[in-house]
Amino acid sequence: MTAQFLPRRQFLLRAAGAAGFVLVPGLWRPLGATPAEVKAEIAKLVGEAALRPGLVKLDLPVLVESPNAVGMTVTAGTPPAGTRIQSFHVFAAANPLPNVGHFHFGPRAGRPRVSTHIRLADSQTVTAIAKLSDGSCWSDSVDLLVTLSACLD
């Protein structure tokens, strides 16, 4: 049967199934971290402190076409008087390891900011946490959609 006689969707699926086009899933084992694992990682970081929304800003595309190198930027607003931002911590719940990176800002840092490229295994919520010198923790999250073959249905 040639592609000509297939409905377009089936044609595309079939072509996609052929090796050489779908390289993405091979990078990761299919299983993501469990919500409990993610919670545990975040709890390790935050400790007794409450996790407050705000202050930190996580920039990621909401629609991810190519999850092998997704541009990510974490920045923050002005922290409460008498405190400074010590670090950012990023978690991707559906990755096989929820930890993405810990980013620390020393005495010679300017405004806390980090831009980098990350890998995302699947559609998921990515969370960035800012830890301040007084121990308080602030967070921001982005729900994003990784477009895998499922979107052909």
Partner 1 sequence: MIRQAAMAVALLATWPAAAQTDDMANPAFLWVEEGKALWSERPRPGAKSCADCHGAAETAMRGVAARHPAFDAKRGRAMLLTQRLDACRVEHQGETPFEPESRRQLGLAAYIALQSRGLPVAIAADGPLAKTVAEGRALYTRRIGQLDLSCAQCHDDLVGRRLAATAIPSGHVNAYPVYRSDWLGMGSFWRRLGNCTTGVRAEAFAPHSPEHVALESYLAARGNDLPMQAPGFRN
Partner 2 sequence: MTRVLIRVPKTVKPGQEFEIKVLISHPMETGYRRDHQGTPIPRDIVKQFRCTLDGEEVFRAEMFPAIAANPYFFFHAVAERGGTLRFEWSDERGTAWRESAALTVE
Contact between 60 and partner 1 by CB under 8 A: the answer reads no
- H or E segment and range at residue 58: strand 56-59
Contact between 8 and partner 2 by CB under 8 A: the answer reads no
In the window 72-101, what residues touch partner 1 (CB under 8 A)?
A: none
Residue type, 142: V
Q: Which of 20, 26, 47, 82 binds partner 2 (CB under 8 A)?
A: 26
- For residue 51, list its beta bridge partners: 137
138 and 128 Cβ atoms separated by less than 8 Å = no
| C-alpha to C-alpha distance for 59 and 63, rounded to whole angstroms | 12
In the window 2-31, what residues touch ligand HEC (CB under 6 A)?
A: 15, 21
Binding site for partner 1 (CB under 8 A): 2-3, 8, 12, 14-16, 18-24, 27, 65-66, 68-69, 71, 115, 117, 146-149, 151-152
